[in-house]
């Protein structure tokens, strides 16, 4: 087998785009975006969000697609090609992907559990007790180290059992390779994801109270536009949501055929992800509006993000739904599962590709080593102390890891590397040509990230 065949290749243009959009659309679109938007100016948040998409999101996608395609390597190899001493940057990004994997798979495992519970109604009338009865309270430090040790010792079977399933699916897909594994899986998952989302949206907007939820989501508060935190939130959401600076898009783009329209692919990925976020926001907030309506409280009172939204507030809402509530509840968790799986396999691919490129291992050898270590670590998150571990890893990677990874990547590429040559390369391949603005977008984003990090360290931006 030639080296090229060993690396694998997407079988079609749509295969790559679906996989890239699949990586982008994830848990973050469903439980993070709606909340971030609502709490940062509602409808007005769309302005910084779109500015971040066009000044940083899409330009960075173009950059990562181009570098992965040109150098045909995962992140460490891309940076090593520029200069041996930059290879560490690629490994740093790969390490972040490795750590995100350990908790991302666990959230998908919860979703599988809750898919099952949706039909049995197992969470009863108090979903909060159902979830936190087993876990330390989210965000609470365990009172003593011994306490943490004890809770980490207890494997939570509601999580550990479906976790095996999640690993099984991801392992199977990655083992089948790029075209027969990743591409096929995304071709199945993504259409199902869209259908599931539409079911949720249609059910959501036809519920009593939906309009109040949508009002809350969309009513613009323009005064927020002068608050730097709102802009920070918009850029943060774009980075996480588009899976950029996580080593992923390099690996995915390294499997592109020689002739590929980079610019077009980047726009499709960025715009597709953004549309999904908006539509899922409509679904989520109409259901939150319904919740507020049945409880006679304001929408703000039931709005929350993350674990609390998916595994406490939504189960409560599902309890209240008129008719077929188990089914609708199930569909909600199915959207989380499909969105999550198509992202988790991309994070894993970034790590597996890096290991196999560097150590000249086959895909399966690299995959086995990765799955063994990451699988064992993920069990730690499937214990009774799991939410605590998740919180720490999530905080470290998303608040600092990705900002630092972004700075390293953009400073090196933007200021110490000839981006003009990348622009020429991209323009030879693409129908729509990028102008000089693109180079300034990369340089400008690097400066912005440095400012953000400095403000964070000074404590002026709350985490
Ligand atoms: N983009 C995904 C989301 O918004 O949920 C999350 C994600 C996937 C982040 C893959 C990082 C990653 F490596
Ligand atoms: Na996804």
Residue-wise pLDDT for 344-363, tens only, equals: 999 999 999 999 999 999 99
Ligand number with the minimum distance to the CA of 346: 1
Average confidence (pLDDT) over 388-403: 80
Kindly give, in sequence order, each residue whose CB lies less than 8 Å from that of residue 13, ignoring residues fewer than 6 positions away.
Answer: 260, 261, 265
pLDDT at position 238 over 80: yes
State the distance from the centre of ligand 1 to the C-alpha of 94, rounded, in angstroms.
13
**Residues 294, 296, 298: CA angle, nearest 5 degrees:** 110
Map out the domains of the chain as residue ranges: 9-457
d(CA 11, CA 32): 32
Neighbours of 268 (CB within 10 A): 19
Average pLDDT value over all residues in the chain? 90
State the distance from the centre of ligand 1 to the C-alpha of 450, rounded, in angstroms.
22
Q: Give the pLDDT band of residue 59 (cuts 50, 70, 90).
A: very high
The residue whose C-alpha atom lies closest to atom 2 belonging to ligand 1 is 26
Beta strands in 288-402 (DSSP E): none
Percent of the chain, pLDDT > 90? 74
Query: How confident is the model at residue 228, as a pLDDT?
Result: 84
- Which sign does the torsion angle of CA 242, 272, 314, 340 carry? negative
State the distance from the centre of ligand 2 to the C-alpha of 435, rounded, in angstroms.
30
pLDDT at position 91 over 60: yes
Average confidence (pLDDT) over 114-138: 78
Query: How confident is the model at residue 387, as a pLDDT?
Result: 74
Query: How confident is the model at residue 151, as a pLDDT?
Result: 57
Ligand number with the minimum distance to the CA of 104: 1
Thinking of the domain 9-457, which architecture would CATH place it in? Orthogonal Bundle (1.10)
Ligand number with the minimum distance to the CA of 242: 1
Query: How confident is the model at residue 138, as a pLDDT?
Result: 42
The SS3 assignment for 433 reads: coil
- String of b and e for 300-317 (b: at least 16 CB within 10 Å)? eebbbbbbbbbbbbbbbb
Ligand 1 pocket mutation, candidates 343, 352, 394, criterion most atoms within 8 A of CB: 343
As for the ipTM of the complex, it is: 0.94
pLDDT at position 379 over 70: yes
What residue ranges line ligand 1, CB within 6 angstroms?
23-24, 26-29, 97, 100, 240-241, 243, 246, 248, 343, 346-347
Q: Give the pLDDT band of residue 1 (cuts 50, 70, 90).
A: very low
Higher pLDDT residue, 150 or 369?
369
Average confidence (pLDDT) over 305-323: 87
Q: Give the pLDDT band of residue 453 (cuts 50, 70, 90).
A: confident
- Dihedral pair phi/psi, residue 246, rounded to 5°: -115, 10
pLDDT at position 136 over 60: no
State the distance from the centre of ligand 1 to the C-alpha of 356, rounded, in angstroms.
22
Ligand 1 pocket mutation, candidates 29, 30, 193, 241, criterion most atoms within 8 A of CB: 241
pLDDT at position 100 over 60: yes
State the distance from the centre of ligand 2 to the C-alpha of 149, rounded, in angstroms.
33
Higher pLDDT residue, 58 or 158?
58
Burial level of 400, CB count in 10 A (0-12/13-18/19+)? middle
Query: How confident is the model at residue 400, as a pLDDT?
Result: 83
pLDDT at position 339 over 90: yes
Query: How confident is the model at residue 139, as a pLDDT?
Result: 44
pLDDT at position 152 over 70: no
Average confidence (pLDDT) over 32-39: 90
């Amino acid at each position: 087998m030639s080296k090229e065949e060993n690396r694998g290749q997407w079988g079609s243009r749509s295969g790559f785009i679906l996989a890239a959009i699949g990586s982008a659309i994830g848990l973050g679109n469903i439980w993070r975006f709606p909340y971030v938007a609502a709490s940062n100016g509602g409808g007005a948040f769309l302005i910084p969000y779109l500015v971040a998409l066009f000044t940083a999101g899409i330009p960075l996608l173009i950059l990562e697609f181009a570098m992965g395609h040109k150098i045909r390597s995962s992140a460490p190899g891309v940076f090593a090609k520029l200069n041996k001493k930059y290879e560490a940057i690629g490994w740093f990004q790969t390490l972040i992907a490795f750590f995100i994997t350990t908790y991302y798979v666990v959230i998908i495992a919860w979703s599988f559990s809750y898919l099952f519970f949706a039909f049995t109604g197992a969470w009863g009338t108090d979903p909060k007790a159902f979830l936190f009865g087993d876990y330390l309270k989210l965000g609470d430090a365990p009172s003593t180290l011994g306490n943490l040790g004890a809770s980490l010792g207890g494997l939570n079977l509601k999580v550990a059992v479906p976790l095996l399933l999640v690993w099984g699916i991801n392992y199977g897909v990655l083992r089948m390779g790029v075209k027969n594994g990743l591409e096929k899986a995304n071709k199945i998952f993504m259409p199902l994801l869209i259908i599931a989302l539409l079911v949720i949206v249609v059910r959501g907007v036809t519920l009593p109270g939906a309009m109040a939820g949508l009002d809350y989501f969309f009513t613009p508060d323009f005064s927020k536009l002068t608050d730097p935190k709102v802009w920070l939130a918009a850029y943060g959401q774009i980075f996480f949501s588009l899976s950029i600076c996580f080593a992923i898009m390099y690996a995915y783009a390294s499997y592109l055929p020689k002739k590929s329209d980079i610019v077009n692919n980047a726009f499709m990925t960025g715009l597709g992800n953004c549309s999904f976020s908006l539509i899922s926001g409509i679904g989520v907030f109409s259901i939150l509006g319904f919740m507020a309506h049945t409880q006679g409280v304001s929408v703000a009172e039931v709005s929350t993000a993350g674990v609390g939204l998916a595994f406490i507030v939504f189960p409560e809402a599902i309890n209240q739904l008129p008719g077929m509530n188990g089914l609708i509840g199930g569909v909600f968790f199915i959207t989380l599962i499909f969105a999550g799986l198509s992202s988790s396999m991309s994070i894993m691919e970034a790590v597996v590709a890096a290991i196999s490129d560097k150590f000249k291992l086959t895909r399966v050898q690299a995959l086995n080593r990765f799955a063994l270590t990451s699988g064992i670590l993920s069990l730690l998150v499937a214990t009774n102390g799991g939410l605590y571990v998740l919180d720490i890893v999530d905080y470290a990677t998303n608040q600092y890891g990705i900002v630092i990874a972004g700075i390293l990547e953009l400073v090196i590429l933007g200021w110490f590397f000839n981006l003009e040559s990348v622009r020429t390369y991209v323009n030879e391949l693409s129908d729509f040509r990028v102008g000089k603005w693109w180079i300034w977008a990369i340089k400008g984003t690097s400066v912005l990230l440095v400012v953000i990090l400095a403000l964070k360290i000074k404590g002026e931006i709350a985490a």
